[in-house]
Structure 1
Amino acid sequence: MKRNKLISYRKNKNWSQKQVVRELETKYGVNITVSYYGMIEQGVRSPGFKVAVAIAKLFKVRPENIFLDKNTTKSCDNNSKVI
């Protein structure tokens, strides 16, 4: 599933995918290829924790805002049982 939020964060900065990859390496020491980043945007690949956090920091958002689909996650409430 395409990660439209991630794509829009990048486009709002007028960055190419190559620029995002360069920023990740410069600011956070994360070294990935442009091809891999493109697959992350397209939802073909899911990044590891370190890469996901670096991408979120780069765009000043929380990782779950980019990488978690609200339709697939459940929030806990006071009535939830822990098994």
Structure 2
Amino acid sequence: MIQEQIETPIGKVAALAKWNDLLSDEAALLAAPGTHHKALLDQAHHLHRAHVIDGDDLSDLLEQADGALAYAIESLINHLDE
């Protein structure tokens, strides 16, 4: 783990931290799931195009973004059922 942190460029660490902050913004996600999902996808693709992350990282981010969207939709459906 420490070795990974040493080998990981600081720019990548900061960029992924910002992306994860966006992912963790549950209020924004639940307020506008589609818009929030698109922002996550756009940012992930931007990081990949800028060569900040590789294809495996992009795949992981896209999977997490899709999971967040599924969570938001399920939460909204459950809220309607109450």
Tell me whether the two structures share a fold, i.e. TM-score over 0.5. Answer: no
| TM-score normalised per structure 1 | 0.31
- Return the TM-score normalized by structure 2: 0.31
Greater fraction helix: 2
